[in-house]
Amino acid sequence: MKRILSGIQPTAESLHLGNYLGAVKQWVELQEGNDAFYCIVDLHALTIETEPAALRRRTLASAAQLIALGLDPKRCTLFIQSHLSEHNQLGWIFECITGFGEASRMTQFKDKSQKSGADRTVVGLFTYPMLQAADILLYQANKVPVGEDQRQHIELTRDLAQRFNSKYGDTFTVPEAHIMKASAKINDLQDPTAKMSKSAASNAGVIDILDSADVNAKKIKSAVTDTGKEVKFDEKSKPGISNLLTIHSSLSGKSIAELENEFIGKGYGDFKSAVAEVVTEYFAPVKVKAEELLKDEVGLIEILREGAEKARVVANRTLKSTYDALGLVPGKQFLP
């Protein structure tokens, strides 16, 4: 069985369509026939200052949505990053083998730090990718299902694993990014050349899966398109329509060619209505299920704690072999 690991930051009340189509949809599929670990990376979320009550609420809301979207805690290990100290411990080791220049080249760091300016950028944002490498390598993951925006972080993770292995002996599995070509980058509906993101300046182009059918239908109907008439996939000259085709196709299971055919002779208005219908129908039951799960907070936390105990067995073992490889004198923190 292949080991899978991926993570999501609890930085919003609702997952957006990019999170689902770029990552979580694959997570659900990869539960079958693999040993899958999925982590809500609350420590990573601390790189953005958040009100404590909101962080707590978003962490549980993320868990509820992941389960409602199809993660089954009996078939995968779903847990919260901060429940295991091993993530920080291994993160530090990677900070000690990552070059300053190498970390400075991470585009997510560059973008985010440029936006807020050097004085307001926290050190945690700089070391973020080393904690992410720890998340992955602790579990000896073979595959990491993510969207395109995470490719560079996975590349760094691979470099760190190889570097450690060649210096200190084989300790880590070198993972591969698992990126679905068709839905690797879902774009903002108002700016269809930029990725859909929870940190977008305006929420008008972001489809939150928990939003009401009305709100999402309105956003889809006002999506930016082009001056043409044809519903055709062409990312260069029709980025808006192409994005909507990707969304429809990923959720309805119809191919892009089938959809192009279906909308021959029809206008963009009809097509947008069809996309809105597919999106709202798909996520309506998810919203109900997520709300239901959140009503039993104690039960939800228990699921996550059980997940953490399963994760600990693997994480603790990897940390022990890492410490051994480095020549650190073993303490009592390791499981028998």
* Residues with active-site annotation: 112, 195, 198
Order of strands across the sheet that contains 143-145: 77-80, 34-40, 2-8, 143-145, 176-178
Which one of 30, 69, 186, 209 is in contact with ligand TYM (CB under 6 A)? 186
In angstroms, the CA 81 to CA 84 distance is: 6
Which one of 22, 73, 205, 239 is in contact with ligand TYM (CB under 6 A)? 22
- Whose Cβ is closer to ligand TYM: residue 61's or residue 196's? 196
Smallest separation, CB 184 to ligand TYM (Å): 6
Which one of 35, 42, 86, 135 is in contact with ligand TYM (CB under 6 A)? 135
Question: Quick check: 44 binds ligand TYM (CB under 6 A)?
Answer: yes
Which one of 60, 144, 220, 247 is in contact with ligand TYM (CB under 6 A)? 144
Q: How many CA atoms lie within 13 A of 332 on its CB side?
A: 0
Pick left, alpha or beta for residue 34 (phi over 0 → left; psi -120 to 50 → alpha; otherwise beta).
beta
Question: Quick check: 318 binds ligand TYM (CB under 6 A)?
Answer: no
Residues with Cβ within 8 Å of residue 46, at least 6 apart in sequence: 55, 124
- Please identify which residue in the block is written with the tokens 């950028």: 121
Q: Which stretch binds ligand TYM (CB under 6 A): 14-22, 256-264, 303-311, 316-324?
A: 14-22
Smallest separation, CB 203 to ligand TYM (Å): 14
In angstroms, the CA 12 to CA 142 distance is: 28
Smallest separation, CB 129 to ligand TYM (Å): 8
Question: Quick check: 30 binds ligand TYM (CB under 6 A)?
Answer: no
DSSP string, 237-306: TBHHHHHHHHHHHHHH---HHHHHHHTTT--HHHHHHHHHHHHHHHHHHHHHHHHHHHH-HHHHHHHHHH
Smallest separation, CB 103 to ligand TYM (Å): 14
Which residues contribute to the site for ligand TYM (CB under 6 A)? 5-9, 18-19, 22-23, 41, 44, 132, 135-136, 144, 146-147, 149-150, 153, 184-186, 195-197
